[in-house]
Amino acid sequence: MALKTSAPRKGGISRVNGPEGIDSIPLRYGDDPYVWACWLYYEDGMTQGEIAEAMGVSRATVNSYLADAREKGIVNISIEPARLASLTIAQELKRHFGLSDCLVVPNDDDTRPLIGRLGAAGAQALAKMIKSGDTLAVAWGRTILSVGEHLEMASLQDVTVVQATGGTTASFAYTPELTTAAVARAISARCVNITAPAIVASAQMHDMLLTEPLIREQFDTLARANRVVFGIASLRPNSTIHTSGFFESVPLQHYLAKGAAGVLAGRFIDERGRPVAGPLDDRTIGISLEMLRGIGTRVAVAGGFDKVPALLAALRGGYVNVLVTDAATGAGILRADGVTSLDGKLSQRQKSTPVANAYRTHVKKFLNNPNDVVEEMLDGLIAAHKPYLQPIGNSRRALVARNGPRPGKVGLVIGGGTGHEPCFVGYVGKGLADAVAIGNIFSSPPPDPIAKCAVAASGGAGVLFVYGNYAGDVMNFEMAAEIAEEKGIPIRTVLTTDDIVSSPVEDKEGRRGVAGNFFVFKVAGAACDRGMTLDECEAVTRKANDRTYTVGVALESCSMPQTRRHNFEIGPDDMELGMGIHGEPGVSRERIRTADEIVDTIMDNIFKEMKAEPGDRVAVLVNSFGATPQMELYILFRRVEQRLAAKNIAIEANWVGHYCTSLDMVGASISILHLDRQLTELLHHPCQTAVLTINTPETP
Amino acid sequence: MSESAARALAKMFERMAEAIEAEKDHLSELDGAIGDGDHGITMSIGFKAVSAALSALDLDAASPSEVMSTAATGFLDAVGASTGPLYATGFRRAAQTLAGRENLDLPACRDMLAALSEGIRERGKAQRGDKTMLDVWLPAAQAAATAVAEGRSKPDFWAAVTSAADNGAAATATMVAAKGRAARVRERSLGHLDPGATSAAALVRAMAEAL
């Protein structure tokens, strides 16, 4: 490489300052010899000797300037983050589990399926290890077949590839026979198959087959293996192990019940890597765990979060000494085994001391006894909203709307935990919900108050339950529905699932309900008030839920009255996308951006799912999580309006404020209801509640 | 056993309440990492309510089964949430299996653990490996069944049960949550102990101490 030397060389001229003195530093470097040395080295590409000559110092001095400059942070060497991460994870895995080697593929390439990327990496690892004269045992599986497909080595001699287990008659492509054959072909090796079934009908059959000379010879070859490559299967419900047909499902359940965490080469291990005994053990023809562990080079190729417990088990059991996996799985394994130093190493950020936030250990709140917050809030709330609602009997956890329930009308019961105020009590009143069941903070109410609400709301035409899709709420409301139905009240349920980032669209039913509750309650309440049948009420409520799209972002998490500490920390420059309304962590942590950019991310997510045509109408809710002020909500609404206008989508109605909060969380959510004629009518139907009053006939 | 079985069970619930109270903050902290941070509080409210409900019961007249069903109702009416229906169903099942029994011998304890874990499993529709309290209750029940089958002594029985429970709780750190709110954070739940499993292990230890 030709050197570009912009600095004039000064070697040997007037060394007035002695041997280590610098004649004069060119003006542009200030007074800093470190910067000068670094510039010449990194930018101009000079050698250390040339720099010594140019600066008029010794080569050793240049060397120490360059080293010190790294220390002082004058020079930062950065490695592309995804590569750095996978390298760091590989090194940590190698160190933590005492592996002889580890290859981790970065997760920056989502264009290729994981199996293919692992296969390519596994092939790369094998290519470095296999030598002429080796005997390589190969277990079956999708990932290992992929290794075979990516492998290519022509120059080896006398290599034997031997199948590690018996065969199967399954119809999939990654049978033991085909996997072994693919690897053997790729390296032009002799291929030895085990010509017996992997699992036979009885232990006697197993013993008989192993005395058969041909099979015994094949097993002798297997016993000579000095290298083995295998995949690791989990026993999770979505594992191919359940569908592969390799195992019968009844024995699988047995192993699962006994604590099996993973399967290697057809053998079951528990979370510490110990063999799990079961009915298939004596009937399996193939390499034993003991044989496997005796092989010199034991290469495992596997990835995917579901496999973390299985991989960890295999590593703990010492079955693996060369691991090939992907960065996300590798990081997961380390975290699962309690390695916490990783996060620091993965970050390329400057080592700066974090802003001290320890000066305040508690969030300030208006409290008497923290254990009484819910009861005291109910005292105030029942008194404040007396015109709209009243306790059912003497239960303050079940409130009914005054002038709400009436004979012949479908009753609407809503409910959930507290901490979301004005949700849910604020939506109880004529034209909206008939009754509300109230739980503890962020906790579903028990079945009893819900059932009381159902009885109070019932007008003989059935009762509709509408609540957010959370495991706890579902269990309690289901138990309450059973109680109500025993009393002859027909119950229908619509779960709200408006949080579109909480699960992918394929798992729409698994999403949680958040601030979009507002629209779904409004539509349901109007449908009930108009005297629609239970079937019709349920159908239109379901439609409203299907057409409501919410995304939330949190800047700071909330603090419980009892702990007065943030539930978790969101870093000084971070935000949490996909935040729910219970202070639980969101879906992904990202760097905080401008308000417009945040709204754009949210709206892009919503537009991806909402099939709105130009000219369509929507209702908009910009909702504070509790601590975000109205001013910022308007800033968000401004951009929402701009994005909708650009698509020629009209806003039929909008609400900007505190409608469904999460205690004192800093953050906001945006909900869009995609209207049609029926939903528009129901949205405008009159109602009178503590937080929402719409065109009552008296005051149009 | 000099005290009555009903008294022994009441003592067991007392121990459970103490254990939860001692672990309360720790449990909430664990929950904060992957859930909504209230598990310690919810469990504490629940077991305080159980104590209150049991104190209203005449333990000299009550059967073990009645103690269990009283605890179930007390717990459920106080908490709701997801732990409410889960433990209430578990306790209710245990009450059914204890019906007509006056003796808390090891087979009875085994059946109680089996019924409890089965009730939780059915209500929550979860299974082992989902990173839930079942990763403690199912192995504990299994260990109890094995210990009785092998004719172990009482101390050995409870040692086996608590060690299975503790191992089960520890193993949840290696799992990705499949149920409940923690399932939303997906792989970020790795490395964190499941709070429900941790409290379950504390309950099993309390059971062992009391029984």
What digits encode the pLDDT tens for the residues B103-117? 899 999 999 999 999
CA distance B101 to chain A (A): 28
Q: With beta carbons under 8 A apart, name residues in chain B contacting A567.
A: 32, 36-37
- Which one of B45, B185, B190 would you mutate to disrupt binding with A, by most A Cβ within 10 Å of its Cβ? B190
Please report the pLDDT score of residue A299 as a whole number: 95
| Banded model confidence at residue B64, pLDDT cuts 50, 70, 90 | very high
- Gap between the terminal Cα atoms of chain B: 10
Percent of chain A beyond pLDDT 90?
A: 58
- Locate the chain B residue with the closest alpha carbon to A447: B80
Residues B19-54 as b/e (b if ≥16 CB within 10 A, e otherwise) read: bbeebbebbbbbbbbbbbbbbbbbbbbbbbbbbebb
Q: Is the pLDDT of residue A585 over 70?
A: no
User: CA of A251 to nearest chain B CA: how many angstroms apart?
Assistant: 16
A145 vs A84, residue with greater confidence: A145
Instruction: Measure B21 CA to nearest chain A CA, in Å.
Output: 14
Express each pLDDT in B178-201 by its tens digit.
776 677 666 777 888 899 999 999
Mutation test of the interface with chain B: which of A334, A563, A589, choosing the one with the most B Cβ atoms within 10 A?
Answer: A563
CB B95 within 8 A of CB B65: yes
Domain ranges (residues) in chain B: 5-210
* B137: nearest CA partner in chain A: A257
Report which DSSP code applies to A42. I
Q: What is the mean pLDDT of residues A572-590?
A: 79
Class at the top of the CATH hierarchy for domain A85-226+283-337: alpha beta
How confident is the model at residue A169, as a pLDDT? 73
Average pLDDT over residues A196-211: 91
Asked if B81 and A308 come within 8 Å (Cβ–Cβ), the reply is no
Which pLDDT score, from 0 to 100, does residue A74 have? Answer: 83
Contact B79 A258 (CB under 8 A): no
More confident residue, A106 or A392: A392
d(CA B60, CA B211): 18
Q: Which of A582, A658, A684, A685 is catalytic?
A: A582
The answer to whether the Cα torsion of A415, B178, A589, A550 is positive or negative is negative
Q: Using one digit for the tens of pLDDT, what is the confidence trace for A264-306?
A: 999 999 988 999 998 898 999 999 999 999 898 999 999 988 8
**What ipTM was reported for this prediction?**
0.74
- Other beta carbons less than 10 A from residue A645's beta carbon: 11
The residue extents of the domains of chain A are 1-77, 85-226+283-337, 370-519, 548-694
The answer on pLDDT for A194 being more than 70 is yes
Task: Please name the helix (run of DSSP H) or strand (run of DSSP E) that holds residue A137, with its range, or none.
Answer: strand A135-138
Condensed to tens digits (0 to 9), the pLDDT of residues A463-522 reads 999 999 998 899 999 999 999 999 999 999 999 999 998 888 878 888 999 999 999 999
Q: What is the mean pLDDT of residues A576-602?
A: 84
Q: Which of A147-161, A446-460, A686-700 shows the lowest per-residue confidence on average (mean pLDDT)? A: A686-700
Q: How confident is the model at residue A345 (pLDDT cuts 50, 70, 90)?
A: low
- Cβ atoms A63, A48 nearer than 8 A: yes
Interface test mutation site (partner B, options A271, A307, A478, max chain B beta carbons within 10 A): A271
B81 vs A587: CB contact, 8 Å cut-off? no
Which residue of the set A150, A206, A385, A420 is catalytic?
Answer: A420
pLDDT at A245 over 80: no
- pLDDT attached to residue B25: 87
pLDDT above 70 for A53: yes
Look at A512 and B25 and tell me if their CB atoms are within 8 Å. Answer: no
Annotated active-site residue A684? The verdict is no
For residue A662, give the chain B residue with the closest CA. Answer: B36
Which of A315, A394, A475, A500 has the highest number of chain B CBs within 10 A, making it the mutation to test binding with B? A475
Distance from the A338 Cα atom to the nearest Cα atom in chain B, whole angstroms:
6
Number of residues assigned to chain A: 700
- Fold classification of A1-77 is Arc Repressor Mutant, subunit A (1.10.10)
State how far the alpha carbon of A642 is from the alpha carbons of A551, A646, A649, B95, in Å. 17, 6, 10, 61
Residues of B in contact with A502 (CB under 8 A): 184
> pLDDT at position B90, please?
95
Q: What is the DSSP string of A531-596?
A: T--HHHHHHHHHHHHHTEEEEEEEEE--B-TTT-SBSS---TTEEEET--SSS---SEEEE---HH
Does residue A354 have a pLDDT over 60?
A: no
The CA distance from B181 to B36, in Å, is: 8
CB B23 within 8 A of CB B204: no
A4, pLDDT greater than 60: no
Cβ contact B36–A583 (<8 Å)? yes
CB pairs under 8 A between A and B: 153
Average pLDDT over residues A421-447: 95
Q: Supply the pLDDT for residue A150.
A: 92
Judging contacts by C-beta atoms under 8 Å, the chain B residues touching residue A445 are 80
Q: Which candidate from A328, A337, A582 shows the least CB-CB separation from B36? A: A582
User: How would you label A604-643 residue by residue, b for 16+ Cβ within 10 Å and e otherwise?
Assistant: ebbbeebebeeebbbbbbbbbbbbbeeebbebbbebbeeb
The HSE-up count of residue A468 (CA atoms within 13 Å, CB side) is 32
Domain B5-210: which CATH number of 1.25.40.340, 3.40.640.10, 2.60.40.420, 3.20.20.70: 1.25.40.340
B81·A444 Cβ contact <8 A: yes
Model pTM greater than 0.80?
no
Q: Which residues of B touch A306 (CB under 8 A)?
A: 176
Looking at 3.40.50.10440, 1.10.3430.10, 1.10.10.10, 3.40.640.10, the CATH number of the domain A370-519 comes to 3.40.50.10440
B38 vs A235, A312, A442: nearest CB = A442
The CATH code of domain A548-694 reads: 3.30.1180.20
pLDDT band at residue A9 using 50, 70 and 90 as cut-offs: very low
Q: Among residues A280, A233, A232, A229, which one has the least CA distance to residue A255? A: A280
pLDDT of the residue at A5? 39
Average pLDDT over residues A619-629: 97
The helix or strand, by DSSP H or E, that contains position A411, with its residue range, turns out to be strand A411-418
**How large is the average pLDDT for residues A565-576?**
83
pLDDT at A584 over 90: no
Instruction: Decide if B177 contacts B194 (C-beta within 8 A).
Output: yes
Q: Is 70 exceeded by the pLDDT of residue A537? A: yes
pLDDT, residue A509, reads 86
Contacts of B139 in chain A (CB under 8 A): 259
Counting Cα atoms < 13 Å in the Cβ hemisphere of B91 gives 26
> Which residue among A237, A259, A337 sits closest to B139, beta carbon to beta carbon?
A259
Mutate to test the interface with A, among B31, B34, B36 (most CBs of A within 10 A): B36
Inspect the interface and report whether the beta carbons of A309 and B174 lie closer than 8 Å. yes
Query: In A, which residues are within 8 Å of B83 by CB distance?
Result: 472
Beta bridge partners of A468: A496
Strand intervals (E) in A346-386: none
SS (H, E, C) A466-528: EEECCHHHHHHHHHHHHHHHHCCCCEEEEEECCECCCCCHHHHHHCCCCCCHHHHHHHHHHHH
Give yes or no on whether A370-519 and A548-694 have one common fold. Answer: no
A362 is catalytic: no
| Residues in B touching A568 (Cβ below 8 Å) | 32-33, 37
Distance from CA of B24 to the nearest CA of A (A): 11
pLDDT at A566: 82
Whether the pLDDT of residue A382 is over 90: the answer is yes
Mean of per-residue pLDDT scores for chain B:
89
Contacts 24+ apart (CB under 8 A), A93-100: A93/A323, A93/A325, A93/A330, A93/A333, A93/A334, A96/A334, A96/A337, A96/A339, A97/A315, A97/A316, A97/A320, A97/A323, A99/A315, A99/A320, A99/A321, A99/A322, A99/A323, A100/A297, A100/A321, A100/A322
Tell me: pLDDT of B65 over 50. Answer: yes
pLDDT at res. A655: 98
Give me the pLDDT at residue A88, please.
87
Do B180 and A308 make contact, defined as CB atoms within 8 angstroms?
no
Say if the Cβ atoms of A441 and B77 lie within 8 Å.
Answer: no
Q: Which candidate, B91, B189, B202, B201, places its Cα nearest to that of B131?
A: B189
Using a pLDDT cut of 90, give the percent of chain B over it.
Answer: 57
Query: Which pLDDT belongs to residue A109?
Result: 62
Nearest to B32 among A338, A502, A567 (CB): A567
Specify the range with the lowest mean pLDDT, choosing from A138-142, A404-408, A410-414.
A138-142
What rounded mean pLDDT belongs to chain A? 88
pLDDT tens sequence across B77-95: 888 888 899 999 999 999 9
Which residues in B lie closer than 8 A to residue A396 (C-beta atoms)? none
Show the beta-strand stretches assigned E in A225-303. Answer: 227-230, 233-234, 260-264, 267-270, 297-301
Average pLDDT over residues A201-228: 93
Residues of B in contact with A271 (CB under 8 A): 171, 174
Q: At residue A37, does pLDDT exceed 80?
A: yes
Pairwise CB contact (< 8 Å): B81 & A261: no
